[in-house]
Amino acid sequence: MHAMVKQSLPLLILCGFGAILTGTAFGSMSKIFQSIPGLIVVIPGIIAMRGNIGTALGSRLGSAYHLGLIDIDNLWNEELKQNILGSLTLSILVSLIIGVLAYLTSLLLGVQASLIKLLFIVILGGLISAVLLTILTILIIYIVFKKGLDPDNITGPALATFGDIITMLCIIASAYLVEAVV
């Protein structure tokens, strides 16, 4: 119990600051929400998706570590590759679904949205954040293993927070890219 608190508490405090940073990024998007109707509908779903997929990947890798399927000397193996492939595939598919649902929700709310813009933003933002978070997950798992810490105490909170921040920034960047191109 003491080790869990010692390992998790500083990270959870840092996560609180991460949530503030994510909220600040969200607040900076007011102009883009006005120019791309329906984008605000995307934000909760895409952030939840990345957080869920990222923490699931981290948990699966932590379980694989506890089961002896991966270790510090054998991190890059078939188990890791399959988990990465599954995570990236799931990110693309769920991003597509979120884009379509955001479009349909916008129409139901009487907001004229562009399906192509929403799909491009969520797929691009979701894919970029998926790649970045997958790399971050592997890095966190490696550091946690190297330091002899329990990955279950570290990866969940870290990936949930970093997932929110990175996903929000990727959505913002994707939205501005769409605005610049279209």
Confidence of residue 117 (pLDDT cuts 50, 70, 90): very high
The per-residue pLDDT for 30 is 82
pLDDT range class, residue 1, cuts 50, 70, 90: low
Whether CATH 1.10.357.20 fits 2-181: yes
149: exposed, middle or buried (Cβ count in 10 Å: 0-12, 13-18, 19+): middle
Residues 158 and 136: their CA atoms lie apart, in Å, by: 10
Reply yes or no on whether the pLDDT at 105 is more than 90. yes
How big is the chain, counted in residues?
A: 182
- The answer to whether residue 182 scores a pLDDT higher than 80 is no
Average pLDDT, the chain: 87
Q: pTM of the full predicted structure?
A: 0.85
pLDDT at position 121? 95
> Among 3-12, 29-38, 45-54, 56-65, which stretch is predicted with the lowest mean pLDDT?
3-12
pLDDT value at 10 more than 80: no
Mean pLDDT to the nearest integer, 55-67: 87
Nearest to 91 by CA among 45, 39, 116, 126: 126
Give the count of beta carbons closer than 10 Å to the beta carbon of residue 68: 8
DSSP state of 113: -
User: Cα Rg for the chain, rounded, in angstroms?
Assistant: 18
State how far the Cα of 82 lies from the Cα of 93, in Å rounded to an integer.
16
**Alpha-carbon separation of residue 130 from 30, 66, 90, 108, 145 (angstroms):** 24, 24, 9, 29, 22
The lowest-confidence range among 51-60, 92-101, 112-121 is 51-60
**What integer is the mean pLDDT of 57-76?**
83
Question: What pLDDT is stored for residue 50 in this prediction?
Answer: 82
